[in-house]
Amino acid sequence: MEDIIIGAVALAAVFLFFLYQKQNTKQYKLPPGPLGLPVIGNIHQLESLNPQRFFAGWAKKYGPILSFKIGKRAMVVISSAELAKELLKTQDVNFADRPQHRGQEFITYGRRDMAFNNYTPYYREIRKMGMNHLFSPTRVATFKHVREEEARRMMDKINKAAETSEAVDISELMLTFTNSVVCRQAFGKKYNEDGEEMKRFIKILYGTQSVFGMTFFSDFFPFCRFLDDWTGLTKYMMECFERQDTYLQEIIKETLNPNKVKPETESMIDLLMEIYKDQPFASEFTLENVKAVVLDIVVAGTDTAAAAVVWGMTYLTKYPQVMKKAQAEVRDYARENGLTFLSEDDVKNLPYFRALVKETLRIEPVIPLLVARNCIKDTKIAGYDIPAGTTVNVNVWAVSRDEKEWGPNPDEFRPERFLEKEVDFKGTDYEFIPFGSGRRMCPGMRLGAAMMEVPYANLLLKFNFRLPNGMKPEEINMDVMTGVAMHKSQHLMLVPEKV
Ligand code: HEM
């Protein structure tokens, strides 16, 4: 008898669930999209490999604004410059929240960071502080010597490999470069690259980054939290958190030590600890807030610039005429000025190289779907209803290929575009928004660009490269690995030759 009652209650629950879903969606005129199944929505139709290309394919079928569902959650993807402007400029405030994500929430100490906090008064205070201090032009400039020193180290390593015509792993080298720079900028720590401390830092970082990018069942099916536990996701998330927290706690302890030797340049955590001591915000800025904000800097700062330069070198290998032109510019400049290394100041004088940096971020924007936004109040875009609580992604990868803006061959890697057209990535030219735009735009844009430029320019100055083992450029695998930033899934191996 008991079984029959439980069965009947379960059936009634499922029936009510469907009824609720039906009523809930009936009144809205949602953007077009593929037909989904009850309960699961469109989850079975999604591809996780190369999501930006996958959604660009859907956009061809359904248009520049499309909708679908994962479980209960309504999702919208925008793929044109015009609608990106509508979302990120005209309706920016209404889309300034971030959607719920169990892993991000847990690992950022309950969203005390900048990237995943909603558009709250606390968020506005830390964002303002970030723009004025953490990421200000002055602070970016104070770490110039760090970036240049680490870039020299990277070139020395490639030099050694060039002596024996050994292939180098550009992906690994770039990650080591960004990891070292970020450790010095964020914590004032200079680790031995192959030492145990650096290995520990990298393990922690990769764990944290993987949790940020992970899909949790309970985000889309709130009643399925037990599946996160069964599959081991919850345990993995907690282990990553433990390791990260122990490390950050140690860093904070060192910073609080009155006998600590003051570093030559004030690191970002020093600045955050001053805020902790002064408590200038309306809400309390605890040690957990310090950890959460510094985590953003570390996570966002390491992956992005490294991924971008790797994509750049990949496209240059596929487009040798662009490689030659870029090399000619940097080498002529170095010869005329008697230089063997290009500094950040030199890069400003290299128009083709600067166009190359932009073209690299256009053809493979490293956060191709931006960080998702959450719709705060019911609204309309392009005549369609967007209900409150909808998760919205801007497919920057598709926007960067919007033929209306970029002409007939948007897939061609051609830096000249940026010499012919005055477009910048500062967030006001909506056809080119690799750093996003509006209130949630990347605050680390200047720092990110600076971290890309010096290693990129010096790779072009000092070496010619070829693919190993007679591999042909068209054989390079272009798949992406999903995470915070989209890396090339297979590491880029190149054989350097000294110039
Ligand atoms: C090439 C390098 C980089 C690229 C392409 C990049 C791109 C982006 C993008 C697309 C977003 C989301 C913007 C949006 O939602 O509209 C973002 C957010 C963010 N980025 Fe970057 N980024 C880079 C480097 C950095 C660096 C070096 C830092 C810090 C050290 C940083 C810190 C952040 C933070 C804190 C956010 C969240 C902002 C918020 O939600 O208010 N980024 N970035």
CATH number at residue 235: 1.10.630.10
C-alpha span between 197 and 191 (Å, rounded)? 7
Q: How far is the CA of 366 from the centre of ligand 1 (A)?
A: 10
Which of 184, 295, 366, 442 best tests ligand 1's pocket when mutated (most atoms within 8 Å of CB)? 442
Does ligand 1 come within 6 angstroms of the Cβ of 444? yes
What pLDDT does residue 87 have?
Answer: 98
Q: How far is the CA of 447 from the centre of ligand 1 (A)?
A: 10
**Can you list the residues of the chain whose pLDDT is less than 50?**
1-16, 19, 23
C-alpha span between 291 and 250 (Å, rounded)? 11
Does ligand 1 come within 6 angstroms of the Cβ of 300? yes
What pLDDT does residue 259 have?
Answer: 82
What pLDDT does residue 401 have?
Answer: 96
What are the φ and ψ backbone dihedral angles of 154, each rounded to 5 degrees? Answer: -65, -45
Q: How far is the CA of 191 from the centre of ligand 1 (A)?
A: 25
What pLDDT does residue 190 have?
Answer: 86
Its domain, for residue 85, covers: 2-498
Burial 139-157 (b: 16+ CB within 10 A, else e): bbeebeebbbebbeebbee
State how many domains the chain has: 1
Which of 294, 424, 435 best tests ligand 1's pocket when mutated (most atoms within 8 Å of CB)? 435
DSSP string covering 279-348, please? --SSS---HHHHHHHHHHHHHHHHHHHHHHHHHHHHHHHH-HHHHHHHHHHHHHHHHHTT-SS--HHHHT
Which residues are 169's β-sheet partners? 493
375 labeled binding residue: no
Does ligand 1 come within 6 angstroms of the Cβ of 434? yes
Q: How far is the CA of 188 from the centre of ligand 1 (A)?
A: 21
Would you mind telling me the total number of residues written for the chain in this entry?
499
What pLDDT does residue 171 have?
Answer: 94
What residues contact 67, with CB distance under 8 A and at least 6 apart? 30, 31, 32, 33, 74, 75, 76, 77, 384, 390
Which residues are 70's β-sheet partners? 41, 73
What pLDDT does residue 237 have?
Answer: 97
What residues contact 433, with CB distance under 8 A and at least 6 apart? 84, 88, 365, 370, 394, 396, 399, 425, 427
Does ligand 1 come within 6 angstroms of the Cβ of 427? no
C-alpha span between 424 and 3 (Å, rounded)? 65
Which atom of ligand 1 is nearest the CA belonging to 452? 1
What pLDDT does residue 13 have?
Answer: 45
What pLDDT does residue 467 have?
Answer: 97
C-alpha span between 487 and 233 (Å, rounded)? 23
